[in-house]
Amino acid sequence: MPDMPDSRNWFKPVAAERQRHLTASRRQGSAIAVDGRTLVNFASNDYLGLAHHPEVCAAAMQSIERNGLGSGASRLVSGDDPAIHRLEGQLAEWKGFEACLTVGSGMLANMGLLQSLADRHTQIFADRLNHASLVDGARLAGAASHRYHHLDNHQLETLLQKHVGERRLIVSDGVFSMDGDCAEVAALLTMAERHDTLLVIDDAHGVGTVGDGRGLTSAAGIAGHPRLVEIGTFGKAFGGYGAFILGSRALIEGLRQRLRTMFYSTALPPAIFEAMLVSLSLIRAGTLTRQLQDNVERFRALAEGLPLLASDTAIQPLMMGSDARALAAAEALQDAGLFVPAIRPPTVPEGMARLRITLSAAHSAEQISRLATALRQLP
Ligand SMILES: *Cc1c(COP(=O)(O)O)cnc(C)c1O
């Protein structure tokens, strides 16, 4: 007789080659200490080095001294802090939208946003490579999802013609997290207008890194459009934690009334908002974004001829094919003092295992040329 299920046999074992491992590490600027060794970190989304910036950290520490650590409650109860309102105002103004709402994380922002915007009668048109939080948000809403091939605007057009309905959303990452390529956001907005849909762009990897730092929608000249709703996060280029949603005043006010992932979750610590105000002013100064872009250009030039995906963003994936080859390459790089993660299915499609190299403004020219040399020496 099979054992009765309890917590010890509830889950079927995960196949050894599919197991995910957590490895504790400590990070400092572009360095990472793993297993007692210090390596150069090419595996972080801290694209501007702000997670360790002295002014950002000082703002957080001063806030903790004055206001303590935790916010103690949801914003709706007693966790609302004046710094949140200041930051929301500045983000909206900088990004060129009427209004902004901060949320605990990008995952919470996307799940709550799609749950609020959509219901069983809504149709969602989504790029196949969208971040998991957008996939889960659509599921939570109970909406019908139509997924199109990555960046395939023709297929999207066909799907929009086929699946008519009153309330529809086109949903896409801005900069794609595993490929580093970009949605054609202006073309998507044109389609949204032609087909009377909303456009939701998650530019978690584009804010702080693309264009003048304001991200893809600003670079494309569509920021603030009334059909556009945008998500950005503090966990990446801002060097902190949390997320924000941008849109028209009416839309953001509607979310304030509906966003379950804001109501039913403790507000972020005030220190985060004080620190993110400083990150924002440093991003606005422009120097760090330009340093990052120079580093990307330097790396692309040094790595010419290697099987890199076509990306001009901070995410530079090097295709490895098999899982085994990606793992062996990551190990060889680690031996050379470089920390680069192997990304395997199911995070990416079968046969598309890769090294996901992320560059930062904090990398020196010497570190980048060391990486390019090591990549050339891979078997
Ligand atoms: C990282 C990421 C998220 C999740 O943001 P967190 O703040 O880390 O929860 C959402 N969308 C995209 C595209 C991301 O890359």
pLDDT in tens, 177-215: 999 999 999 999 999 999 999 999 999 999 999 999 999
Amino acid 379: pLDDT: 85
Amino acid 19: pLDDT: 82
Annotated catalytic, 236?
yes
Q: What predicted TM-score, i.e. pTM, was given to this entire model?
A: 0.97
Q: Is 339 helix (H, G, I), strand (E, B) or coil?
A: strand
From 103, 131, 276, the mutation candidate for ligand 1 (largest count of ligand atoms within 8 A of CB) is 131
Pairing status of strand 168-173 against strand 342-343: unpaired
Half-sphere exposure of 72 (CA within 13 A, CB side): 7
Place of tokens 């749950």: 115
Alpha-carbon distance of 303 to 294, in angstroms, equals: 14
Helices 323-335, 365-376: inter-axial angle, 10-degree rounding: 130
Q: Which of 201, 153, 151 is nearest to 309 (CA)?
A: 151
pLDDT digits (tens, 9 = 90+) for 100-125: 999 999 999 999 999 999 999 999 99
Question: Which ligand 1 atom sits nearest the alpha carbon of residue 234?
Answer: 7
Annotated catalytic, 172?
no
Of the residues 30, 236, 265, 363, which is catalytic?
236
45 sits in which H/E element: none
Q: Is the CB of 130 under 6 A from ligand 1?
A: no
Q: Which residues of 54-83 are buried (b: 16+ CB within 10 A; e: fewer)?
A: eebbebbeebeeeeeeebeebbeeebebeb
pLDDT digits (tens, 9 = 90+) for 159-172: 999 999 999 999 99
Ligand 1, atom 3, residue with closest C-alpha: 106
Please check the confidence at residue 1 and state whether its pLDDT lies above 90: no
Q: Is the CB of 204 under 6 A from ligand 1?
A: yes
From 233, 244, 245, the mutation candidate for ligand 1 (largest count of ligand atoms within 8 A of CB) is 233
Partners of residue 202 on adjacent β-strands: 173, 231
Of the residues 44, 63, 133, 177, which is catalytic?
177
Please check the confidence at residue 2 and state whether its pLDDT lies above 80: no
Are 174 and 313 contacting, i.e. CB atoms less than 8 angstroms apart?
no
Query: Which residue blocks in the chain are alpha helix, DSSP H?
Result: 54-67, 82-95, 106-117, 132-141, 153-162, 185-194, 216-219, 249-258, 260-263, 270-285, 287-302, 323-335, 365-376
